[in-house]
């Protein structure tokens, strides 16, 4: 128990250290840490200038892990990401030159600006924790976490990510504008030429491994396990849950990965809160981030201005927890 308290204090220390550099992004840091401690990749979306890249950069400094930042562009090649075979004139043999994907934390910046072949290479790394160079397959370092940022698809030069790749992201987090007080603090910091804080390392790789082990021990009751399943099935068969209007808008519900992601994220949230058991209040706030990018709506929903968030809100209000 004392060891858990020590780890939980260190997690709080991560939030404190990041907040010394980045203002008003505790929600974002929370979701990134959930992904890190449960092995899930995180997709961030928001207009430029909201400190998405800055937050991830700062978090990487606070964690004692290898970190690489990849700027995705339309002319990026798979070899730029995973590496390639090069000819060694001295030995007369081809040798592997590993790419930047061989790190523990990967920031895929503006991931939806890269072409399909690059997305395919990234998908293998995310799904299998391995890459293929030539005829050989290479395992990636553990932990391995992709934290990707994307610009809204309406912006010029962006491409919608394939559904299979989007589904590999544990959560999709929308980064919104700051409130007035937070934005004022940002202006004060960024215009102060003497301000240059260097974040300290708070968590080591050993700490992260221990936290993962303790999160895995968090209890979740059979009642809440079944509640997660009901939420998942309500996205697939809304009419069965009395959601007849929503059934007209949903083309495809969430995949089995959504239930796994919600299950793991709820356990991590409980651990962050100092508990060894999950409450319904741990599950519900995570549903939008876990389900939102996996529910595919039809053209009728687009025409009527219906969003996935609205569908999820209605599901959360309608689906009850058995026994309560």
Tokens of 108: 């895929």
- Cβ of 148: how many Cβ atoms within 10 Å? 26
User: Is the C-alpha dihedral spanning 241, 242, 243, 248 positive or negative?
Assistant: positive
Q: Give the count of alpha carbons within 13 A of 316, CB side only.
A: 17
Measure the CA dihedral 74/76/77/82, to 10°. -140
Same domain for 176 and 28, yes or no, is yes
Whether residue 141 lies inside any domain: the answer is: yes
Whether residue 74 lies inside any domain: the answer is: yes
In contact, 241 and 210? CB cutoff 8 Å? no
Same domain for 145 and 51, yes or no, is yes
Whether residue 225 lies inside any domain: the answer is: yes
Same domain for 45 and 165, yes or no, is yes
Q: Look up the pTM and report it.
A: 0.89
CATH number of domain containing 181: 3.40.50.300
224 pLDDT more than 60: yes
322 pLDDT more than 80: no
Q: What is the DSSP string of 132-171?
A: EETTEEEEPPSS-EEEEEE--TTSTT--PPPHHHHHTEEE
Radius of gyration of the chain (CA): 21
Q: How far is CA 69 from CA 60, 86, 216, in A?
A: 10, 23, 29
134 pLDDT more than 80: no
Q: What is the domain extent for residue 129?
A: 24-187
Same domain for 90 and 178, yes or no, is yes
Mean pLDDT of 6-13: 88
Domain count for the chain: 2
- Cβ of 102: how many Cβ atoms within 10 Å? 18
255 pLDDT more than 90: yes
Mean pLDDT of 264-272: 96
* Separation of CA 272 from chain center: 17
154 pLDDT more than 60: no
Same domain for 290 and 179, yes or no, is no
Mean pLDDT score across all residues of the chain = 87
pLDDT of residue 318: 93
């Amino acid at each position: 128990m004392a060891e858990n308290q020590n780890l939980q204090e260190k997690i709080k220390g991560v939030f404190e250290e990041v907040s010394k550099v980045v203002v008003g992004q505790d929600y974002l840091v929370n979701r990134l840490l959930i992904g890190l401690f449960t092995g899930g990749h995180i997709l961030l979306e928001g207009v430029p200038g909201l400190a998405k890249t800055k937050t991830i950069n700062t978090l990487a400094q606070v964690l004692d892990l290898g970190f690489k930042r990849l700027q995705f562009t339309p002319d990026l090649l798979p070899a730029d990401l995973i590496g390639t075979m090069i000819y060694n004139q001295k030995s007369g043999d081809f040798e592997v030159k590993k790419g930047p994907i061989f790190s523990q934390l990967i920031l895929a910046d503006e991931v939806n600006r890269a072409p399909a072949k690059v997305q395919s290479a990234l998908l293998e790394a995310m799904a299998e924790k391995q890459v293929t160079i030539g005829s050989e397959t290479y395992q990636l370092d553990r932990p391995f976490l992709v934290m990707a940022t994307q610009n809204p698809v309406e912006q010029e030069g962006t491409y919608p990510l394939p559904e299979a790749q989007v589904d590999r992201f544990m959560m999709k987090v929308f980064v919104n504008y700051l409130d007035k007080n937070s934005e004022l603090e940002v202006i004060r910091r960024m215009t102060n030429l003497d301000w240059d804080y260097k974040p300290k390392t708070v968590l080591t790789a050993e700490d992260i491994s221990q936290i993962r082990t303790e999160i895995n021990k968090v209890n979740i009751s059979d009642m809440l396990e079944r509640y997660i399943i009901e939420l998942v099935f309500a996205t697939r068969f809304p009419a069965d849950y009395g959601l007849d209007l929503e059934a007209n808008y949903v083309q495809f519900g969430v995949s089995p990965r959504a239930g796994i992601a919600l299950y793991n994220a709820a356990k991590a949230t409980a651990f962050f809160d100092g508990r060894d058991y999950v409450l319904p209040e741990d599950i519900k706030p995570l549903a939008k981030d876990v389900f939102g990018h996996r529910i595919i709506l039809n053209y009728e929903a687009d025409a009527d201005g219906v969003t996935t968030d609205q569908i999820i809100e209605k599901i959360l209000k309608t689906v009850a927890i058995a026994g309560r």
